[in-house]
Chains A and B, each alone.
Chain A
Amino acid sequence: MYWVSIVTEAAIFAILALGLDMVWGWAGDFDLAFYGYLALGSYMTMVLTIGKPIPPVSYILGYRLPYPVALLLAVAAVVVFAAAIGAVALRNLREIYFAITTLTAVSAMYLFVENYTPLFDGYNGVYGLVNPGQTLLNLTYNGYRIVFLGIVLVVLALVYLLVSRLSRSPFGRMLRSVREDERAAAAYGRGVFFAKYRAYLFGAALAGLAGGLFAVFVSAFNPSAWTPQELLIIYAAILVGGRGNPLGVMAGVFAVYIGFIELTRFLPAPASRPEFGPALRQVLIGLLIILMLRFRPEGLISERLGRDRGPR
């Protein structure tokens, strides 16, 4: 069951990373708000499925929808939210200005969710989404977890096929031309903002989807689960795998994620200092980011650029 759990989590993060790679890898926008979209997807899935809150707990909506419906609605909510942020941030802001603005936005959102209890019960968060459909499918707890892993892997495969098709499509090539030289792309008649905006919304939708799956995986969600720094391991994974290459990104997530969990399991963890292990893990993630950027920024499996086949 240990491996089932690890592979499930890695697969969910692979979906997130494929979405993030469209935004950063293809369109070149270093977005720090992205983990907020996974969080929103998780929260929305929760409040749409777990029913009315019992005081003193409080959160919005509180419906009891079937899980797949809730998942779709959650993704829609994330896309609407990202549409608002993207419309503001992508219009004029680029590079570090874009990064700082998105970090600011997600920090404000984080503070708000943490302190404004009527929304998602503040610091305590929402919980109670335990294996939706388990009785319907007549499964044991462990059996359900294995089936869920299967579902996540199927979703990941579908997402991968879609993303790698898009990556080779005219849309994927346009985004890369915008990334490399915005002015040249604009001069050749590409709508720079709208191209970036579409990539941003598509990426956010994948983040929302990952969030909805993550809600089932963890069955409870609160602010300590999504500090904005969590996003850095996803960036590290993309850097390792190969920015802009869907296969590399997916491989990078599995390698980095499982690699780090396995590695840090065997590190010394003094009982008096429970924070030692996780802190060391973060140090290694930071070093990994710096070293990859310094010595191999294209990653282990580098992006395959579309070839100019000449006039036909």
Chain B
Amino acid sequence: MTTFLISVGIGLATAAILALSALAFTLEYAVSRVANFAHGELLTIGAYAAYSGQRLFHQNVAAAALLAAAAGLLAGLAENAGLIEQFRGRSATTVFIATLGASLVLQNLLEMIYGAANVSYSFTQGGLHHVGPFLWTTSNIEVILSALAVAGLIYLLLQHTRFGKAIRAVSQDRTLAQVSGIPARRVVMGTWALAGAISGFAGFILADTIGTFGPQLGFSFLLLTITATVAGGIGRPYATLGGALLVGLVIEIAGTYSNSAYQLVWAFGLLVLLMLFRPNGLFVRRSATAVRA
């Protein structure tokens, strides 16, 4: 039972990071209708920015986190302006392939700058704490709390601000939003900046939790992100959080009770099942057939 609870605890920490990454992925999809395969690199860029900044800021975790978010924000803006907007009106597969190419470019640019070898932060993980039935390090707790805080802020932003309302309008129908006087291009830009900042921050806490990371950090997290997103229902921000929780728990619990090398195989199996049977998410009442061409 203790092993089970510990793996649930780790699963919650994984789910928190996954939730942020999936939230950003789904925001990108919502406004641009693109499954962004260069999403993982937003995380990687955030992680490396914090790595570059950690000496400057004398091990200040908050400063490193802000720097990661800022770098992610800029990268998100750049991906939107330099790539996604360039392919507006093209077929979903075409844009998808282009983002796959962009992912290859960014990943290898980072490798050229920082080298292929793994690097790590020198932040302390803190001691172990028993919180209720779970066993967490200080940084686990910080990760979970900050992810909850960010998710809460996004909720407020989407539900209670003009910008949030505009995002929801654009994600319903960009042209219709445009003719109703919403500056759709700017809203899309703002959403990418937001998604980039969330991703950059997620990359930082992911790298900090794993310990060491390399240029493939974000890319190897991408399929997990997609699994969580699809489980929740792509383009539906709140349901995505539920999807992240499910995936985080599944991989950590399955990983504890089987060979941990196959941890990801479980997640991939889950994704294939979702794609086949619930492509619109677990939380929709009936499986709509819209995605079937």
Listed in ascending order, the chain A residues whose CB lies under 8 Å from chain B are: 30, 88, 92-97, 99-101, 103-105, 107-108, 111-112, 115, 182-183, 229, 232, 235-236, 273, 275-276, 279-280, 282-283, 285-290, 293-294, 297
Q: CB within 8 A of A297: which of B86, B94, B96, B259?
A: B94
Question: Which chain A residues border B103 with CB–CB below 8 Å?
Answer: 286
Question: Which chain A residues border B94 with CB–CB below 8 Å?
Answer: 293, 297
Report the bound CA distance from A92 to B265 in whole Å: 22
Is B293 a contact of A285 with CB atoms below 8 Å? no
Q: Is B264 interfacial (CB 8 A cutoff)?
A: yes
Interface majority SS (helix, strand, loop, mixed), chain B: helix
Q: Is B246 interfacial (CB 8 A cutoff)?
A: no
Beyond the given pairs A97-B275, A115-B262, A288-B101, 7 more chain A to chain B contacts, judged by CB atoms under 8 angstroms and listed by A's residue number, are A96-B92, A108-B272, A112-B262, A229-B104, A275-B116, A282-B104, A286-B103
Question: Which chain A residues border B91 with CB–CB below 8 Å?
Answer: 95
Which B residues between 7 and 61 are near A, CB-CB below 8 angstroms? 35
Closest A residue by C-beta to B101 = A289
Question: Which chain A residues border B90 with CB–CB below 8 Å?
Answer: 293
Is A280 a contact of B108 with CB atoms below 8 Å? yes
Q: Is B276 interfacial (CB 8 A cutoff)?
A: yes
CB distance from A22 to the nearest CB of B (A): 17
Closest A residue by C-beta to B109 = A283
Q: How many pairs of residues, A versus B, come closer than 8 Å at their CB atoms?
A: 122
CB distance from B132 to the nearest CB of A (A): 33
Q: CB within 8 A of B271: which of A88, A94, A100, A112?
A: A100
Question: Which chain B residues border A105 with CB–CB below 8 Å?
Answer: 268, 272
CB distance from B97 to the nearest CB of A (A): 6
Is B92 a contact of A293 with CB atoms below 8 Å? no
Is A93 a contact of B276 with CB atoms below 8 Å? yes
Q: CB within 8 A of A100: which of B35, B101, B259, B264?
A: B35
Question: Which chain A residues border B112 with CB–CB below 8 Å?
Answer: 275-276, 279-280, 283
Q: Is B83 interfacial (CB 8 A cutoff)?
A: yes
CB distance from A236 to the nearest CB of B (A): 8
21 pairs across A/B with beta carbons < 8 Å? Answer: A30-B93, A93-B279, A94-B291, A95-B91, A96-B92, A96-B96, A97-B279, A103-B223, A275-B112, A279-B109, A283-B104, A283-B109, A285-B104, A286-B103, A286-B105, A287-B101, A287-B105, A290-B101, A293-B101, A294-B86, A294-B87
